[in-house]
Structure 1
Amino acid sequence: MANTCSTIWLLGASSGIGAELAPGLLARCERLVISARRRERLEAVRDTLSERGGDVRVLPVDVVEADAVAAAAQDIAHQVGVPDLVIYNVGDYEPAGMDQLDPAVFERITRINYLGAVNCLAAVVPMMRASGGGRILINASLSGYAGLPHAAAYGPTKAALINLAESLHPELARAGIHLGVINHGFVRTRLTEKNEFTMPQLLEPATAAAAILEHLDDPGFEIRFPRRLALMLGLLRMLPYRLFFALTRRLV
């Protein structure tokens, strides 16, 4: 049986995996707070959940604004208490290789994917420590395992998220806060539609959400799927560079 939370805060809830996660999360908590930049999209998600009952609260926030994220976290704490579970599911993507080295694109993706997560952690960790604990999950990616062609802007931000979580995990665990990552493969969204290459083991958002929910209560650091792609990329990152680049050159 799934563990029941008082409050879950889902950032990046307006589409894709986030929108598909919302019903399953609502079934696990007394109230679900959903966030993204656009209120109208969040309200559409809330409307799809209305027939299920439960307390769903819409809280628009732009994660690149540290003050706005901090204010949103404080609003939740004051209104319903410190969240038991926070899921950072916000992300941006652009294909990038040697012909797409646009610093503005790299900066935008870094601010959303990585610094947005830092803003979230800075907002919720102190209140979780003060309340005695909690759980935080960061949606990273299997692409953070190794540098892959076409992912020069996106992959490094996901590698940074994994490293960030690894770095903070021991300290937060001592403070009673469980910090983990979700590393998944390719999921069919408006972002991956930009890819012009064949994406192996491409998942639908509902399938990805179901996999996350299936393992949401697992005590480990990482939720990863699909299994075969995770194994392949895990092995790839352990190869000597001579072999690593011999394989990745085939993807160019």
Structure 2
Amino acid sequence: MTMLRMQPQDGVAWITGASSGIGEAVALELARRGWTVAITARRLDLLEAVALRGAGLPGRIVAHAGDVTDPAAMRAVVEGIESVHGPVALAFLNAGIAQGHRPGGLDAGAFEEIFAVNLLGLVRGLAAVVERMGARGKGQIAVNASLVGYGGLPGAGAYGASKAAAIHLCESLKFDCDRLGIRLQLVNPGFVDTPMTRRNGFPMPFLMTNEAAAVRIVDGLARGGFEIVFPRRLAWAMRLIRLLPYPLYFRAVAKLTGGRGSRR
């Protein structure tokens, strides 16, 4: 089945985790390109502030509050968007959180919280749109994962594992989405200057602005292809390191992260 790249005339775009960071920037970039963009996060006041920042753009941004950890809420959000604005033609499932855990230990609560948003929240967003797009025989979905999902990094156990799971999920679902006529894409960014990454206490190579990341993502949505990945220099480095035998992998990661990883 032919998988079309969606255009503004095909319907609306829906973005989760859009009250700040990459989600907000992508919403504004899509509105610049003429899309009606429905944005979702838990806090309506923050969403409405984003919508105001989009005033005067060729498209428009509308706020629809919802919690990705609540499956009924996700379905209700999509139903509300489609009843008011038309079919969701493009979905960017972006909601995600990160939380540090104790060095040398595991914080089970942090894992549960992060997986509830980054993985199960993703599944709930997918469930809310795949059935509807499949019934129409067309649609486009992009999932925001991370280059961190390529391999284990020190201090990123919960966040990295959730993003690795998101990558695996998208690779698996692509076969079903192809059959349904849905274009499924995976977004793997490197370090982007967001409120979440500003808490990092380590150097972030090739750090880029939200606005630059949004242009890369939206260009990738228009271009097609399964993976939208940037910056490519960092992505290729991480892919090559992942091919190393484990002793060399751990040594290389320890060196790149300033000695925070294993030395054996």
User: Which ranges in structure 2 are unaligned for 5 or more consecutive residues?
Assistant: 1-5
Asked if 1:244 corresponds to 2:249, the answer is yes
Contact 2:32 2:58 in 1 (8 A): no
Q: Indicate if the aligned counterparts of 2:11 and 2:87 stay in contact, CA closer than 8 A.
A: no
Structure 2 CA distance for aligned equivalents of residues 167 and 151 of structure 1: 23
Q: Does 1:46 align with 2:51?
A: yes
Does residue 174 of the first structure (1) align with residue 202 of the second (2)? no
The one of 70, 73, 86 aligned to 1:65: 70
For the 8 Å contact 1:23–1:49, the answer to whether it is kept is yes
Aligned pair 1:222/2:235, yes or no? Answer: no
Tell me, in whole angstroms, the C-alpha distance in 1 between the residues paired with 2:195 and 2:57: 27
Q: What is the 5 A alignment of 1:9-20?
A: 9-20=14-25
Q: Is the 8 A contact 1:7 1:33 kept in 2?
A: yes
Residue in 2 that maps onto 1:201: 206
Aligned residue number for residue 13 of structure 2? 8
| CA shift for structure 1 position 70 | 1.0
> Is residue 97–residue 152 contact of structure 1 (8 Å, CA) maintained in 2?
no
Q: Matches of 1:28 and 1:249 in 2, distance apart?
A: 42
Return closer, same or farther for 1:41/1:71 CA change in 2, 3 Å cut-off: same
Where does 1:42-191 land on structure 2 (aligned, <5 Å)? 42-52=47-57, 54-96=59-101, 98-191=103-196
**Paired amino acid for 1:133:** K
Would you say the 8 A contact 2:150–2:164 is kept in 1? yes
Distance 1:51 1:235, change over 3 A: same
Deviations 1:167-212 (A, max 9, x none): 0101111110111110000111221122111111111111111211
Which residue is 2:3 aligned to? none
Alpha-carbon distance change, 147 to 72 in structure 1, aligned in 2, over 3 angstroms: same
Structure 1 position 12, deviation (Å) = 1.3
Paired residue for 1:233? Answer: 238
Q: Which amino acid aligns with 1:24?
A: E
C-alpha distance in 1 between matches for 2:107 and 2:140:
36
- Distance apart, 1:130 and its partner CA: 0.9
Give the secondary structure class of the aligned counterpart of 1:57.
strand
Preserved contact between residue 97 and residue 149 of structure 1 (Cα < 8 Å): no
1: CA distance, partners of 2:224 / 2:208: 24
Q: Cα RMSD (Å) of the superposition?
A: 1.6
State the aligned residue count: 251
SS in 2 for 1:136: strand
Structure 1 residues not aligned, in runs of 5+: none
Q: Share of identical aligned residues, percent?
A: 42
Distance in 2, matches of 1:55 and 1:196, equals 37
Specify the code of the residue in structure 2 equivalent to 1:14.
Answer: S
TM-score normalised to structure 2 length = 0.90
Letter in structure 1 aligned against 2:59: G
**If the length of structure 1 is used for normalisation, what is the TM-score?**
0.94
CA contact (8 A) 1:6 1:29 kept: no
Give the distance between the partners of 2:206 and 2:35, measured in 1 at CA.
35
Whether the aligned pair in 2 keeps the contact of 1:114 and 1:161 (CA below 8 Å) is yes
Q: Secondary structure at the match of 1:147?
A: coil
